[in-house]
Structure 1
């Protein structure tokens, strides 16, 4: 296994450091805005700006990569992200922070495109699954550990931004020193959204709503944590628990979905997410809060790859990469809307409003899924693709999915792909 990742170790080190530095910024900025007296709606707008930037970058950053090459593009995106991170420490003005978060989103998407296309170029049919798994470990572990940097602000308010900038800047080194040749970035395949919805309505709606829920959480979870009485250490621990819970449950739930009708597992996750969100909306204290947070992360993080796997089950092999790219964009669109929806609900219902919003989204999708369960026949178990944990980053990540054209199922015929209409 370790021999598999040796050729890409510099890329994995880069994404780990980049996520350790940038992965906690949404939490930190929400805390600083809340402490500075900004309204929940303003905090939601700043969070939305990041996800809008992420969507723009996913669509447009590839042009820069093709024009100047992977290493130059990567260094440019990381340098701009590092400069933006230091700027937060200089001026605390919500409009400026919103503009900076838009830039951050574009830069992070550009970094993901560079790394993911490079990993795809270095992978083959036998190593793709292992490389993807290690990529997810590097991404999520960096994001989880980065939350601990929140505590560094106790001594001086600018220190977390400075530490984040240092880590982000260090991410340039392993990429610039790598001896691995940079690949050519090809244009991503496209699939009409109508065709994708016709093949898998639940996959399309589920991916978009997962973005809605997780965008709301990432944008406003820190505000929720502070308002229920957690200090900086407690807030960092809560966010870390959610992320680690997301890592822990994705694989078991995915394996379960390989053995049974995947729609049943998706609906079970939605029902459990609804229940956990309602419990969190009541603002529990003590260890139960962290346990519920870890459960929420495990369930909500698993929904996106489950929806991708469900869509892949009902598509032709040649359509799967393009479909995964479209589902990432749907997730990003939902994530851009989530913070504003949650902010509005918090303004109306108070502290627990964010989780009331998430519960409402889960309930609506659960009702839709139950309808699809009645309206369409299941995919035969022999025709289901193996579940694969996938990042919710950019359409380029779809190229890392081992369930691509070379892994077509024996029942992969056009007739098999019309069962979910």
Structure 2
């Protein structure tokens, strides 16, 4: 394994450090806005700006990379992200912070495009799975550990932003000093959304609904925790536990979906997400809150790669890379809408409204999934593709899928 990741170790270090610095900003910004008296809808709109920036960056960052190269593009995106992170410490104004979050989203998407296309170029067919798994571990472990930086602002409010900016800036070093030659940017050909939906309605709708659920969670979960009476340290722990749960349970659920009808695993996943969300809406405390948070993360994080795997089961091999790219965009659009719906629910129903909204979305998907089970046949077990954990970042991540056929990738 070490031999497989040695050629990309600088890229993995860079994503770990950057996510340690930027991964907790959504939590921090939501908490700061609430402390200063901003309403839940305002907090939701600021969160939506970030996910909107991710969509814009995913669509546009490739042009920047093709124009000036991976290293210069990475440095530019990281420098701008570091500067915007420091700007939060200067003026606290919701409209300005919304604009900064939009910039953050564009920059983070640009970083993902740079690193994921670079990883794809360096990964050999027989090591692609190991490289992807290592990338996921670096990304989510950085994000989880970064939540602990929330505690640094108890005495000096500007310190978390300063620490975040320092870590984000440090992420440039392993890229600038790498001996690895940056590749040309590789993308997949386009696939009409109508064709994708016709092939796999459950996969398409599942990806979008998962974005809705997790967008609402990332944008507002810290507000939910604080309104339950959790301290800043306990809030950071709750967020970290959810992310770690997402990492821990994806493989078991994926393995289950390889052995049985994947549609039933997806439907069961949404059913359990509904149940866990209802339990969280009842505002539990202590160990039960953490256990439910772990379960929510494990289920919620698995639903996107399960949806992608189901879509791949019903597509031609030449269409799978492009389909994965389309699905991550659908996820991102859902994630941009999620904080608005979650904020509206919290405005009407209090802290528990966040998970009532998530439960409602999961319930709608459950009903849709049961209908699809009734009207379509299962893919034979031997025809199902192996489950693979995939990042919910940009369409470029689809190229890292070990099931991707390099012959179907085109240079643009």
TM-score using structure 2 length: 0.98
Superposed, which structure 2 residues align to 1:131-280 within 5 Å?
Answer: 131-280=131-280
Q: 1:342 to 1:118 in 2, by over 3 A?
A: same
Residue 383 of structure 2 aligns with which residue?
A: 383
**Structure 1 position 390, deviation (Å):** 0.2
Distance in 1 (alpha carbons) for counterparts of 2:4 and 2:186: 24
Q: Specify the SS of the correspondent of 1:89.
A: coil
The structure 1 segments of at least 4 consecutive aligned residues displaced by more than 6 Å after TM superposition are none
Do the aligned residues in 2 keep the contact of 1:328 with 1:392 (CA within 8 Å)? Answer: yes
Cα distance in 2, alignment partners of residues 58 and 297 from structure 1:
24
Q: How many residues align?
A: 408
| CA positional deviation for 1:155 | 1.8
Match of 1:419 in 2: none
2:343 and 2:356 map into 1 onto residues whose CA distance is 11
Contact 2:187-2:396 at 8 Å conserved across structures: no
Distance in 2 between the 1:20 and 1:362 partners?
30
- Once the two structures are superposed, residues 73-96 of structure 1 have per-residue CA deviations (whole angstroms, 9 ceiling, x without a partner) of 000000000000000000000000
SS at match of 1:100: helix
What CA distance in whole angstroms lies between the structure 2 residues aligned with 1:242 and 1:187? 32
Q: Deviations over 1:341-361 (max 9, x none)?
A: 000011111110000000000
Q: Which residue number corresponds to residue 417 of structure 1?
A: none
Shift of 1:406: 6.5
Task: Check whether the contact 1:53–1:103 (CA below 8 A) recurs between aligned residues.
Answer: yes
- Gapped runs of 5+ residues in structure 1? 409-421
| Aligned 8 A contact 2:211 2:332 in 1 | yes
For 1:179 and 1:392, how far apart are their aligned partners in 2? 28
Q: Give the superposition deviation at 1:404.
A: 1.6
Q: Deviations over 1:103-142 (max 9, x none)?
A: 0000000000000000000012100000000000000000
CA distance in 1, matches of 2:289, 2:274: 16
What is the match of residue 78 of structure 1? 78
Secondary structure of the residue aligned to 1:90 is coil
Alignment partners' CA distance in 1, 2:33 and 2:190: 39
Aligned-partner Cα distance in 2 for 1:69–1:188: 19
Please name the residue that 1:17 is paired with: 17
> Alpha-carbon deviations, 1:239-270, whole Å to 9, x = none?
00000000000000000000000001001110
Aligned to 2:42: 42
* Pairwise CA distance, 1:337: 0.2
Q: Does 1:129 align with 2:119?
A: no
* Structure 1 position 403, deviation (Å): 1.3
Aligned counterparts of 2:321 and 2:188: Cα–Cα separation in 1: 9
Displacement of 1:186: 2.8
Q: Distance in 2 between matches of 1:282 and 1:131?
A: 40
Q: Does the 8 Å contact 1:109/1:393 carry over to 2?
A: yes
Deviation string 1:347-402 (CA, Å, 9 cap, x unpaired) is 11111000000000000000000000011100000000000000000000000001
Q: Give the TM-score normalised by structure 1.
A: 0.96
Once residues 42 and 399 of structure 1 are traced to their aligned partners in structure 2, the CA distance between those partners, rounded to angstroms, is 36
2:335 maps to 335
Report the equivalent of 1:344.
344
Deviation at 1:189, TM superposition (A): 1.9
Task: Indicate if the aligned counterparts of 1:325 and 1:396 stay in contact, CA closer than 8 A.
Answer: yes
Q: Which residue of 1 aligns with 2:363?
A: 363
Structure 2 counterparts to residues 61-72 of structure 1, below 5 A:
61-72=61-72
Could you say what the CA RMSD is over the residues aligned between the two structures, in angstroms? 1.0
User: What is the 5 A alignment of 1:53-64?
Assistant: 53-64=53-64
Q: How many Å apart are 1:405 and its aligned residue? A: 2.7
Mapped to 1, the partners of 2:188 and 2:388 lie a distance apart of 20
Query: Displacement of 1:188 after TM fit?
Result: 3.4
Please name the residue that 2:3 is paired with: 3
Is 2:299 the counterpart of 1:299?
A: yes
Q: Displacement, 1:201? A: 0.2
Question: Is the contact between residue 317 and residue 407 of structure 1 (CA under 8 Å) also seen in structure 2?
Answer: no
